[in-house]
Each structure stands twice: as structure tokens, then as C-alpha cells.
Structure 1
Amino acid sequence: MRGTTVITGADGYLGRRLAAALLDDGDDDLILAVRAASATELDGKRARLAEELGPDAVGRTRCVAADVRHDSLLTDVDPGVVTRIVHGAAVTRFNVEHDVAADVNVAGTVRLRAFAARCENLRRFALLSTLYAAGEHQGDIAEERLPSAGFVNHYEWSKWAAEDQLLGAAREMPVSVLRLPTVVADDDSGHVTQYNVFHNTLKLFHYGLLSLLPGDEKTPLSLATADFTVSAVTRLLDPAVADGVYHVCPDPAETPTLGELVDLAFTVFERDAGFRRRGLIRPVPCDRESFDDLLHAATGLRAGPLHQSLASVSPFAAQLYLPKTFRNEALRAAWPAYAAPDPYALTEATCTRLVTSKWGRRPEETS
């Protein structure tokens, strides 16, 4: 049945890919909600989305300004026509400030929930969350609503709080929470167009700016591609799929450990002549107490390279001492075509691309 899907954060890395997938997968009209402070900015984003989505978007998409920090969110949208909402707008920095995380990620979800309550034909409200909404939980993490167990940073807390706010309304509207993994590449080729803490930490290791490895080497790290993530989300938006919480991630059996990933990264690094000339050794594992002491010492060196290196890692580093396994039985049951990328091949391909392109600073073919 044809409907209208609202995507917030539609011009983001995953948002625009999801829009393309939904244009290809079904016949819904799409309302692409983007943050724009002026008509000029909105026109620019509208043009970029139209160019990226191509002819499939003609007649089926409408780009609107929507700032989740404002109660006037989506005033230009008739709630009566909306059948699905995919909420992807969020601040995703691990070092996000508490007030920003609270206003955008938590209160923004509450504001969108209030809009959804007026959508009388709503069939799905899907929140794009993160696996790390699990915070300081350890061990097996089930696909279900989680109690608070403390959090490593404000980002994790805000995504958990957004989940909790939305799942609290599950009796009033059809709600799904989709917890996403760390996306390290666009596809299985390892091509990277959006960099995050995964890539930045590898860069520190490659250039000898970080010689310690924070975390328990046995901690599993769930990695995926944008292709896999968007395909899974598209499937979970299908009306045939039940509401609920889903871990959009590879199976635990396909999840490598921190130690395995670092070893593989250095195997790739050592193929590079420039890296070999620097004579760098693999980082030394560091227990949590020692790493906390190092962070404390670095606070007095704000202008130095040590502080700069640790500043990019520290907002997430404590999570690496909290091993957890994300069960994905609900995802696999709902998605018969489930096929996760090989994490070792993906890591090797991604690291090779990072080294070849100097982390995006030069075309890969010139190496």
C-alpha cells in the first residue's frame, strides 16, 4: 500500500542512502527532512539530494526544513498523510556536550514523538539508535528495552534516553528501535566517505601518535558497511516485520575482537614502505586504571601531541574495557536475506584504502 515516509536527517551519511534504497524498494512518497537555517541553505540541500537520488526522486520526494530542537518541527507536513517515520537526525559525536545531546538527541525525539501522535495513519516510527545505547552493560545484550547501567559518554546516554522515551510510547504507536553498529566503510570494497573514531584511531596508530592500546583485547567490536546497514533498515521498515528492538549488526560469531582488529590493521600497515621506515611497533595493551592515569596526566599538556592524540580516543576508550555481545536473533528472523560482510576482509580492505589514500588526502590510484 502506497504511503508517505518521513526521514529526518535525510541529508546525512545514512539518511540519503536510506532514501535511495526506499525509492528503489517501494512506492512510498518521501518527505526528506533536513536541518536548514535559511531558504538558501534548504535550496542547496534540496539540489544536492535531487542530484544524488537521481530521476527516481522526481515526483516522489519533497525536501523540507526541520530542526528537531524546535517545537515547530514539521509544521509544513500534513500528519494525516504520514504512514512511516524514520528518525535519523542526531548529533553522533562521542564527545558531544550534555546539553546538546539532551536537546537534540533526547528532546528532539520527544518532539518528533509528539508529531507522530498526530499521524492517524502511522504504521511505523523507527528510531535509528546505536548498539552503544547499552552503555556500561556487559555480556550478552538482548534485542529489548534496556535499563540504565551508566554510560561512558553523553552520546551513549542520549541515545539510550531517546530509546527509552520512544519505547515508553509503544502502547500508543507502532515503535521500532534499530540499534546500528559502527559503520567503517561504504561497502565491502572498504571505500570510506565518512570518517569516525574507528578510522581516526587507526590513523593515530599508523603515524605513531598513539603507542598504547586502551581496552580489553577480548572486547568484541561490531563493524559493518553502509550497504549492509541500509539494507537491514530497509527490510525492518517493511510492514510485514513486527515492531520491536533490533540489533542491526553482524552475528556474534562474525564479530572480531579488539585485539584481532589491531593485529590485522598492523599487518596491513606493515605492507606500506613509509610505515616500515618509521619502525613503529604494535601498541602496548593498557589496563583501564593506567589509561585513566594517562588521561589525567595529559590534562596538563593541553597544547601537546599527547593530549591531542588522547582527546580523540578518550570519549570512547572506556567502552573498550566493557566486553559485550550483541544478539541479533530478531534481525535474522525478520530478514531472510541476511548476509553480513566478512569482518576480517572488511577490515583489511578498509585499512588498505586508508593507507593508500592517506586517510582521504590523496587519490588511491596515485599510491
Structure 2
Amino acid sequence: MRGTTVITGADGYLGRQLAAALLADGDDDLVLAVRADDSSELAAKKERLDQRLGPQARSRTRVVAADLSRDDALADIDTRSVTRIVHAAAVTRFNVERDLAQRVNVDGTARLRAFAARCDNLQRLAMLSTLYAAGRRRGDVHEERLDDVGFVNHYEWSKWAAEEEVLGAAGELPVSVLRLPTLVADDDGGQVTQYNAFHNTLKLFYYGLLSLLPGDGATPLSLATASFTASAVTRLLDPAIADGVYHICPDPADTATLDQLVDTAFTVFERDPGFQRRGLMRPLPCDQESFEDLLSAADLLRGGPINQSLSSVSPFAHQLYLPKTFRNDALRAAWPGYTAPDPLALAETTCLRLIESKWGRRTQETP
């Protein structure tokens, strides 16, 4: 039956992917909620979404301004027509400030939950979270509500707190929390249009700006593509799928370790003539105590290249000393026969595309 799906953060990296996937899979109308300060910014974002989704989508989409820092953010949406909500709006920087993370990621989710409670025909409220809402845990992490065990950065804390806002409504609302891995490419071809800590760290290694490798080499790192993630979210929005917590990630047995990923990256780098000319060595492993000492020393050199390099890595690097395995039994049961990208093949193709594009600079320079 045709309904209406609301996507918050619809102009974001994953929001756009989800909108395209939902238009291709089903016949729901889509309300694309974006943050816009005025009518001109809203018009510009609508134009970009039209270009991304194609003119054929206009009959099924409506773009609305929605600043979730305001209580009336979704007042323009008819609650009677809403059947599904995908909450993709968030600040996703690992170095996000605490107050901003509270205001956008936590308080914004609370406002969205209040809006969802007014939607009488709601079939699913799905919040996109992160695997690292698990915080400082080690070992197996299951698809369940998690206790506060401490966090590496404010981003992780805010996503856990946002999960609490949503899961606190379980039993009253049809809620799901979908924890996502690190998205390293748009698709299996390795194209990158959104850069994050994974790409920035590889850039530091490639240009010789970071010679140490923080972390336990046996730490599993769950990587995926935006296309795989959008397909998984689309599957889990099906009303026939049970509510709950899902880890959208490869099976534990198919998850690469830090050592494997670094070895794959440098195998690609070492075939590149530019990298060969620099004569750079592979990074040296660095234990946690030594890394902490390095951060303390770099902090005394504010504005220097060492401090700048480490500041882009440190907000997440502490996770690399906390090996954990993300179980995805609920995902596998809900999506029989699913296939996640091969992590080492994905890392290889992504590194190749990063070198070809010079981390996006060559693409930007192309007329």
C-alpha cells in the first residue's frame, strides 16, 4: 500500500542514497527533510536533490525545511499520511563538540520521536546510528540496547544517547536502531564522494605525514559501501521485518583487521610511482601508552604539522585499541542470502581511486 516516508538529513551523503533506493524500491511518496536557514538555501538544496534523483522523481518527492533544533521543525508535514520515518540527520564528525552533539544528535532525535508519536499510521521509525555507539566495549557486541560503558569521543556518546531516545519509546512506537559501519566508498568500484577519518588517515600515510600506526593490529574494522548500506536500510524498513536493533555490517568472519587493511593499503601505495619516489617506509606499530605520550607532546606544538596530523586521527584512534566484534545475527535472519562487500577488495579499489583522484583534488580541478 502506498504511504509516505519521511527522511531527515535527506541531502546528506547517505540520505541521498536512501532516497534513490526507496524511489527504486516501492511506490511510497518521499518527504525529504533538509536543514535550510532561508528560502534560497532550501531552493538550492531542492535543485541539487532534483539533479541527484532525476526529474522523474519530482512527482513522488517533496523537499521541506526542517531544523531539528526547533520544536516546530516538522510542522509542515501532515502526520496522518506518514507511514515510515528514517532519521538520517546528524553531525557525524568524530571531533564534534559536546554541546553541538547534544543539540543536534540527541535533542534533535528527541524532537523527532515526539513527531513520530503524532503519526497515527506509523509503521516504522528507523534511526541510523553507528556501530561505535558501543563505545569502549571490547569483545562481542550484540544487536541489543547497550549500557553506557564510556566513549572515545562525543560523537559516539551522542549516537548512544540518541539510541536511548528512540529505544525508550519501544512498545509505544515501532522503532528500530540501525547501526552502520564505516562507509569507505559509494559502491564496490571504490569511488569516494564523501571523505571521513578512514580516507584522511590513508592520506597521511600516503604523503608520509604519519609514520606511526596506533592501535591493536588484531582489531576488526567493519567497512562497507553506501550502496550496500542503503540496500540494507531499505530491506529493514519493510513492515514485515521485526522492530529492533540491527548491525548493518559484514559477518564477523568476513571482517578485516587493522593489520590486514594497512597491509592492503600499502601494497597498493607501493605500486604507485609517486609513492615509490618518496621512499616511505610502512608505519611502525604504536602501543597505547606511547600514543598517549605522543599526543601529549604534540599538544605542546600547537599549529605544527605533527599536531595537525595527529588531531585528525586521535578522535577515533583510541577505538583501535579496543578490539570488538559486531554480531549481525538479526541482520542475517532478516535478509537471507545478503552479500556484503569483500573488505580487502573494497580497500584495494578504494585506495586505487584515492590515488587516481589525489583524494578528490583531481576531480575538483577537472573542468
TM normalised by structure 2 equals 0.98
**Residues matched between the structures, number:** 365
Distance 1:358 1:6 in 2: 36
1:248 is matched with which residue? 248
After the TM superposition, which residues 321-336 of structure 1 pair with which residues of structure 2 at under 5 Å, given as runs? 321-336=321-336
After the TM superposition, which residues 190-339 of structure 1 pair with which residues of structure 2 at under 5 Å, given as runs? 190-339=190-339
Is the Cα contact below 8 Å between 1:142 and 1:327 reproduced in 2? yes
Deviation at 1:309? 0.2
Deviation at 1:270? 0.3
Distance 1:99 1:249 in 2: 29
1:80 is matched with which residue? 80
Distance 2:194 2:315 in 1: 19
Is the Cα contact below 8 Å between 1:128 and 1:177 reproduced in 2? yes
Deviation at 1:336? 2.2
Higher deviation after alignment, 44-53 or 261-270 = 44-53
Q: Name the amino acid aligned to 2:108.
A: G
Distance 1:303 1:126 in 2: 41
1:196-254 Cα distance to aligned partner (Å, 9 max, x none): 00000000001010000010000000000111100000000011111000000111111
1:138 is matched with which residue? 138
Distance 2:164 2:251 in 1: 24
Q: Name the amino acid aligned to 1:297.
A: A
Distance 2:77 2:282 in 1: 54
Distance 2:147 2:95 in 1: 23
Q: Sequence identity of aligned pairs in percent?
A: 75
2:34 is matched with which residue? 34
The list of structure 1 runs, each at least 4 consecutive aligned residues, that deviate by more than 3 angstroms after superposition, is none
Indicate the SS of the match to 1:346. helix
Q: Name the amino acid aligned to 1:57.
A: A
Q: Name the amino acid aligned to 1:343.
A: P
Is the Cα contact below 8 Å between 1:179 and 1:247 reproduced in 2? yes
Deviation at 1:9? 0.2
1:145-168 Cα distance to aligned partner (Å, 9 max, x none): 010110000000000000011101
Indicate the SS of the match to 1:58. helix
1:153 is matched with which residue? 153
Deviation at 1:55? 3.3
Deviation at 1:112? 0.4
Distance 1:50 1:337 in 2: 33
Deviation at 1:341? 0.6
Gap regions ≥5 residues in structure 1:
none
2:24 is matched with which residue? 24
Distance 2:279 2:329 in 1: 44
1:15 is matched with which residue? 15
Distance 1:227 1:221 in 2: 18
Indicate the SS of the match to 1:140. strand
Deviation at 1:50? 1.2
TM normalised by structure 1 equals 0.98
CA RMSD of aligned residues (A): 1.1
Indicate the SS of the match to 2:126. strand
Gap regions ≥5 residues in structure 2:
none
Is the Cα contact below 8 Å between 1:23 and 1:56 reproduced in 2? no
Deviation at 1:58? 2.2
Is the Cα contact below 8 Å between 1:30 and 1:60 reproduced in 2? yes
Distance 2:85 2:219 in 1: 34
After the TM superposition, which residues 119-138 of structure 1 pair with which residues of structure 2 at under 5 Å, given as runs? 119-138=119-138
Distance 2:60 2:360 in 1: 34
Q: Name the amino acid aligned to 1:35.
A: R
Distance 1:21 1:356 in 2: 28
